[in-house]
Structure 1
């Protein structure tokens, strides 16, 4: 298997730019494209590419679209690209995601262990923390969540490889699977049902899994379907199970259209349950949830149960 040429890598990057631009235009969301450009700028700089590489690619895309696309699309693309380039001039990348909270030292130690491929020690750290009285909710919000964000930043800044990133995620998922005795014993059952999943093509599942577990800890029956859920299958199981609430997640911006498609399928059901959406793009554009046809949105796992129960008036 040969090495990928510089030309092929350049074309790959341009395709990424176009994917994100298309999704932003489809959702009338310049915020989504600007956020992607800021992310790509950090990534490319840390790969050693000159600063002008991204800017030049975007300007070339703009010129091509102005020549080839209809006026409406061309004007929108030009607006989004120009806006993103302007924001790029004043951007300041994050220096870290571990934050300032009571469990920061625990998060730092957990991060160190997973980056050193010490899965057994990482597991023991979390289990002993729970046995000492720390709540599952706090482990999720102050350890797992910021550590996952920090791992993503370390990959983006070329400090760890994709392999390290995948390993760290798999360790966290494995440990989460051991926490269900704590989760199931957290509260009494309340005769409420949630069906939750990542949309098709979406593989980032820790966030929606945390959401599902938070509902479980608040007395709901959470039916979590996992990553990359086929739309028709999802609609079918919702029809069969008749949940009180559906939760859909997309982490990658280019999967937002899949969220809309699944909601359109659910709209065909005779008794469609309310649909809550979440994931990174919905935090970037705070009106995006309405644009895809959802009923409600939660920014994170801690707020999801409160938002849902207020909406359902329970």
Structure 2
């Protein structure tokens, strides 16, 4: 049975049309229409890999864009993602997708704490189409369980997925643990930054920007065997200053302290509804979590990018972005004895007060 890369549709316009039809079904929460559409495409001769990556993955990308623009709710985003997951399942059981496993064995998993499983699921299905035997472990896989699985299966490689940067410390632990048992690791997902900058920093054996590129990489030259004496903290000597550890351990206290002080620093908060106060607390928790991750990586750009994105999300939801600098100032006050943290917070405040989008947003109060 042929296990080479399946052909892609020759007509880009047709792919675009099918993606638009799937989006219509997904946005209407019509699971039956979505699955019928992808099955009909396969019946008509579309390549399964293209249906997965050029249609379903494209629509999932639009789901994220619509949520960020506040055009769909969190509940609608979850429903749409669940329908896309069902569409992937429909493709996987279609006769056109039944390819004999003639290569090796690969474990595909999300790092501990990572709930966005669809990118990993798409990769797992594409690898099956390329002739691999795949163990798909799904979302939020604790590292000890992942290692136990590798011991029992003797996988040729592990593909780890993470979409959220705050999961990178857990990803680093998983990468190091897999390499310690002699299994090379390919990583992917938005968490690893532009061009996979954090993949290199955390010692991964390979990185890929998307499922098709990951499958190409794994199907091409064999990943190098990792060095067994590699240690997790060999990659990040700056962690010796303990700033990451202290901020991570005190995160709950930091959030409570800043939340309480924010009512005086940002008086508009006093008139917030209970729901608005709850969301403010969530935003502060995310802020501290991203700060800790930036300290882990020693990369202030990660935090400034998060703050800029947060400002844009707030504006899309009608919340004035000028509520962010007071929170950053209060956090900096609490962390005045932590030089790296103070520098990161100062850079984020500067970015917020000089960025055109944020400056405009500050006038919407």
The TM-score with structure 1 as length reference comes to 0.64
Aligned to 2:78: 166
Q: Structure 1 218/225 Cα, relative in aligned 2: closer, same or farther at 3 Å?
A: same
Task: Give, in angstroms, the shift of residue 180 of structure 1.
Answer: 2.3
Where relative contact order (Cα < 8 A, 6+ residues apart) is larger, the structure is: 1
Task: Give, in angstroms, the shift of residue 285 of structure 1.
Answer: 4.3
- The runs of 4+ residues in structure 1 deviating greater than 2 Å are 178-189
Q: Provide the secondary structure at the position in 2 that maps to 1:103.
A: helix
Task: Give, in angstroms, the shift of residue 127 of structure 1.
Answer: 1.0
Task: Give, in angstroms, the shift of residue 277 of structure 1.
Answer: 0.3
Aligned to 1:73: none
Q: Structure 1 102/215 Cα, relative in aligned 2: closer, same or farther at 3 Å?
A: same
CA distance in 2: counterparts of 1:260 and 1:106, whole angstroms:
38
Residue number among 203, 218, 222 corresponding to 1:312 in the alignment = 222
CA distance in 2: counterparts of 1:303 and 1:236, whole angstroms:
28
CA distance in 2: counterparts of 1:183 and 1:227, whole angstroms:
27
Q: Structure 1 291/255 Cα, relative in aligned 2: closer, same or farther at 3 Å?
A: same
The answer as to 2:16 corresponding to 1:113 is no
In structure 2, runs of 5+ residues without a counterpart are 1-11, 224-365
The answer as to 2:167 corresponding to 1:239 is no
The answer as to 2:122 corresponding to 1:210 is yes
Residue number among 134, 137, 142 corresponding to 1:222 in the alignment = 134
CA distance in 1: counterparts of 2:97 and 2:79, whole angstroms:
29
Aligned to 2:35: 123
Q: Provide the secondary structure at the position in 2 that maps to 1:179.
A: helix
Q: Provide the secondary structure at the position in 2 that maps to 1:223.
A: strand
CA distance in 2: counterparts of 1:183 and 1:281, whole angstroms:
34
Residue-pair matches, total:
213
Equivalent residues in 2 for 1:137-286, closer than 5 Å: 137-182=49-94, 185-269=97-181, 272-286=182-196
Q: Provide the secondary structure at the position in 2 that maps to 1:248.
A: strand
Aligned to 1:298: 208
Residue number among 286, 289, 292 corresponding to 2:199 in the alignment = 289
Q: Render the CA deviation track for 1:204-223: whole Å, top value 9, x for unaligned.
A: 11111111111111111000
CA distance in 2: counterparts of 1:304 and 1:154, whole angstroms:
26
Q: Which has the larger radius of gyration?
A: 2
Aligned to 1:53: none
1:101/1:142 contact within 8 Å kept = no
In structure 1, runs of 5+ residues without a counterpart are 1-99
CA distance in 2: counterparts of 1:112 and 1:145, whole angstroms:
14
1:195/1:225 contact within 8 Å kept = yes
Q: Provide the secondary structure at the position in 2 that maps to 1:297.
A: strand
Task: Give, in angstroms, the shift of residue 231 of structure 1.
Answer: 0.9
CA distance in 1: counterparts of 2:156 and 2:13, whole angstroms:
34
